[in-house]
């Protein structure tokens, strides 16, 4: 059975949007703060568990769990940033990688302890199930919702960074942290808040994406590579780059699984390596 190109594109876009929502925070952390945070997937996982726990144990409606997941993960990341990450901003990426791998291991074991090793069951509300067929393409309502969330997040990020005072402070702090500090911008605080927002988005992505990519304790390791690919290929700190890289990754991953399942993720990794050789700073990264 051949799957139509339209279906692949639609499903790939939905998947790509989800990858974008989760990864964009990592792009910010790695680009703006120069911090190699391999534990980003753990934030997404935490968001997912917050959402499922609220839904399954307290009966909170799905849509309401999303902002709660965002806030909870942002708060958790604030604590981690203050206690751990801050100490290693000036250290080499090796130390950062080791610290965050350690955190990933702790998160995996902790999640297994609290929520058990299996997949989390999740029931989407009725208005997000079902699908329409438009011009031969099956439009799943849930996937359409993912795309809308992705668009909303993109719009909010672009407007926030281009049009608000805080966005201007972020841009200034990234361009030249010393000068920004000299102008009276509290660069550390700007970075902290940006980090929280990025982690919160990961939590939101983890919560909203459970129905598509699942949720189990292995999540941070399973998807770490995907998030890193989005960031490295898109270019550190570039929202546009992350979006394009995430959408490409989503479409090619879904397409690859439909059309050439025997090759698997091989192509994606190979393309990433060659792309990084061609442009070590990513598609839209600054050198």
Partner 1 sequence: MVSLPAESPQASDHASRGRPVTRLERRSRWRWHEILFWLAVASCPLVVPDDLVLASQVLIAGLFALSLDLLLGYGGIVSLGHAAFFGVGAYAAGLLARHGWGEPISGLLLSGALAGLLGFALSFIIVRVRGIALLMVTLGVSLVLHEAAVKGYAVTGGDDGLQGIVLDPLLGLFPMDMWGRTAFGYSLAVAFAGFLLARRLVSSPFGLALQGMRENGRRMAAIGAPLRRHSALIYTVSAALAGVAGALLTQTTEFVSVEVLGFQRSAEVLIMLILGGAGHLYGAFIGAAVFMIVRDQLAAANPEYWFFWLGLMLVLVVLFARGGIIGGIATIAAHFRKGGSR
Rounded CA-CA distance 248/12 in Å is 8
Quick one: which of 4, 64, 113, 159 contacts partner 1 (CB under 8 A)? 113
Quick one: which of 13, 21, 73, 99 contacts partner 1 (CB under 8 A)? 99
* Cβ proximity to partner 1, 187 vs 229, nearer residue: 229
Rounded CA-CA distance 68/90 in Å is 32
Rounded CA-CA distance 116/114 in Å is 6
* Cβ proximity to partner 1, 31 vs 140, nearer residue: 31
User: Which residues neighbour 231 within 8 Å (Cβ) at sequence distance 6 or greater?
Assistant: 23, 26, 27, 30, 31, 242, 245, 282
Q: How many CA atoms lie within 13 A of 154 on its CB side?
A: 20
CB of residue 9 to partner 1, shortest distance in Å: 24
Quick one: which of 14, 153, 236, 246 contacts partner 1 (CB under 8 A)? 236
CB of residue 277 to partner 1, shortest distance in Å: 6
Quick one: which of 13, 54, 232, 254 contacts partner 1 (CB under 8 A)? 232
* Cβ proximity to partner 1, 12 vs 237, nearer residue: 237
Residues 183 to 222 in contact with partner 1, rule: CB under 8 A: 221
**Where does 51-196 show beta strands of DSSP type E?**
131-134, 137-140
Nearest residue to 281 (alpha-carbon basis) of 244, 235, 221: 235
* Cβ proximity to partner 1, 168 vs 271, nearer residue: 271
- Assigned token pair, 78: 């604030």
Task: Give yes or no for residue 286 binding partner 1 (CB under 8 A).
Answer: no
Among 60-68, 86-94, 153-161, 162-170, which window interacts with partner 1 (CB under 8 A)? 86-94
- Assigned token pair, 51: 């959402």
Rounded CA-CA distance 143/146 in Å is 5
* Cβ proximity to partner 1, 122 vs 276, nearer residue: 276
Task: Give yes or no for residue 269 binding partner 1 (CB under 8 A).
Answer: yes
- Assigned token pair, 261: 């399942």
* Terminal alpha carbon distance of the chain: 45
Quick one: which of 5, 64, 134, 263 contacts partner 1 (CB under 8 A)? 263
Task: Give yes or no for residue 276 binding partner 1 (CB under 8 A).
Answer: yes
The contact pattern for partner 1, residues 15-54, with x = CB under 8 A and - = no contact, is: ---------------x-----x------------------
Rounded CA-CA distance 16/252 in Å is 9
User: Which residues neighbour 172 within 8 Å (Cβ) at sequence distance 6 or greater?
Assistant: 179, 180, 183, 185
Size, binding site for partner 1 by CB under 8 A: 44
Residues that bind partner 1 (CB under 8 A): 30, 36, 84, 87-88, 92-95, 97-99, 101-110, 112-113, 117, 221, 225, 228-229, 232, 236, 262-266, 269-270, 272-273, 276-277, 280-281
């Amino acid at each position: 059975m051949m799957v139509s190109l339209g279906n692949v594109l639609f499903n790939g876009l939905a998947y790509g949007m989800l990858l974008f929502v989760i990864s964009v925070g990592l792009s910010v952390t790695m680009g703006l703060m120069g911090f190699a945070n391999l534990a980003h997937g753990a934030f997404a996982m935490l968001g997912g568990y917050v959402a499922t726990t609220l839904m399954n144990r307290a009966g909170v409606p799905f849509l309401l769990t999303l902002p709660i997941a965002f806030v909870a993960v942002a708060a958790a990341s604030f604590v981690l940033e203050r206690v751990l990450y801050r100490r290693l901003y000036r250290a080499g990426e090796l130390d950062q990688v080791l610290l965050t791998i350690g955190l990933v291991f702790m998160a995996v074991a902790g999640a297994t302890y609290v929520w058990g090793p299996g997949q989390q069951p999740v029931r989407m509300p009725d208005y997000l199930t079902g699908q329409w067929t438009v011009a031969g393409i099956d439009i799943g309502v849930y996937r359409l919702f993912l795309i809308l969330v992705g668009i909303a997040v993109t719009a909010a990020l672009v407007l926030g960074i281009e049009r608000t005072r805080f966005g201007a402070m972020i841009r200034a702090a990234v361009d030249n942290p010393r000068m920004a500090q000299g102008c009276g911008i509290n660069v550390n605080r700007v970075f902290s808040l940006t980090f929280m927002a990025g982690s919160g988005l990961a939590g939101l992505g983890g919560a909203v994406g459970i129905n598509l990519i699942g949720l189990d304790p292995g999540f941070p390791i399973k998807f770490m590579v995907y998030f890193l690919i989005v960031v490295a290929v898109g270019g550190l700190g570039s929202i546009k780059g992350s979006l394009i890289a995430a959408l490409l990754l989503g479409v090619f991953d879904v397409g690859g699984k439909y059309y050439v399942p025997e090759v698997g993720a091989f192509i994606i990794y190979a393309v990433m390596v060659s792309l990084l050789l061609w442009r070590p700073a990513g598609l839209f990264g600054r050198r």
